[in-house]
Amino acid sequence: MFSIIGILLVFAAVLAGFLMEKGPILVLMQPSELIIIGGAAVGTMLAANPMHVIKKIIAGLTGVLGGSKYSEARYVESLKMMFQLFNKARKDGLVGIEMDIEEPEKSAVFSKYPKFLKDHHARDFVCDTMRMAVTGGASPFDVDQMMELDMDVHHAGASLPVAALSTVADSLPGLGIVAAVLGVVVTMSALGGPPEQIGHKVAAALVGTFLGILLCYGVVGPLSSNMAKLVEDEHAFYHVIRVVMLSFLKGMSPTLAVEVGRRAVPEHVRPSFKEVEQACRQRDEAGATEAAGSPAPATA
């Protein structure tokens, strides 16, 4: 929402300043220049990126318009889910959560968190990591290395559309110059005609440069920057989940592991200790979830 407001504010400020200088607004209406710049920008993006990156760019732009999904409520919900999973593992042993991680859609713990189940990468990140702990043979250090590798690969893939969109933004001023040069060519072919006609063609050529720069620094560039921040928000979320799982596998109680994870949450969305504590101790259909102080078993 704020991205839309920001883009509208950019156009409003530019047009308002132009009108204050008594500029004729119709001169800026140059569909041919916009087709040249926009079409060439889309073409360069298609030529430079495989289809899976193109799909991620579209999904990323949709995410920018919707805002970050990693809010304070999302963190509270995720920490509560991890607490319930670890509490079950403390009571029944790690083998007690084997069915939960093998079939998360049927899990009594995970089924209460549809956002988690819908996020396939987060679901696999948790389940695959805990699967290694359940099968045994992997030390907490080895599991942490696997989680770090998974996060690095995912972060690299999530950064590809950001880099691609930034490249498109950088190309827009140059494409604006291309449109302007074509406008000059048209103007040169009209020399000898009425001065009004020549002036109109020169203005149209200059509008090409104007649009290229405006779209670069006022639209595509900011959207790319916003996408990069959303990627960092996602990476921060996985870091929190990683810290919680690693703390539990090292022998911390569910309560302490969740608290370590809470302190890893970025400050602007970090819930308070009381909020997390109250959420973890709420009674649900399965009964009361209680805090535990004994260490988790290291192997199945």
Query: pLDDT per position in the chain (300 positions), as tens?
Result: 688 889 999 999 999 998 998 888 888 888 888 999 999 999 999 999 999 999 999 999 888 888 889 999 999 999 999 999 999 999 888 888 989 999 999 998 999 999 999 999 999 999 999 988 888 778 889 999 999 999 999 999 999 999 999 999 999 999 999 999 988 888 887 777 777 778 778 888 889 899 999 999 999 999 999 999 999 999 999 999 999 999 999 999 999 999 999 999 999 999 999 999 999 887 444 444 343 444 444 443
Is 109 among the domain residues? yes
Paired residues of 287 in beta bridges = 284
Residue 248 buriedness (CB in 10 A; 0-12 / 13-18 / 19+): buried
Is 21 among the domain residues? no
Is 75 among the domain residues? yes
Is 212 among the domain residues? yes
According to the model, what pLDDT value does residue 224 have?
Answer: 94
- Tell me the pTM: 0.84
According to the model, what pLDDT value does residue 287 have?
Answer: 47
Is 90 among the domain residues? yes
According to the model, what pLDDT value does residue 80 have?
Answer: 95
Is 24 among the domain residues? no
Contact 126, 113 (CB under 8 A): no
Structure tokens at 121: 């990468």
According to the model, what pLDDT value does residue 185 have?
Answer: 87
| Dist CA 77 CA 82 (whole Å) | 9
Number of domains in the chain: 1
According to the model, what pLDDT value does residue 266 have?
Answer: 95
Is 281 among the domain residues? yes
> What domain range includes position 87?
31-300
Is 258 among the domain residues? yes
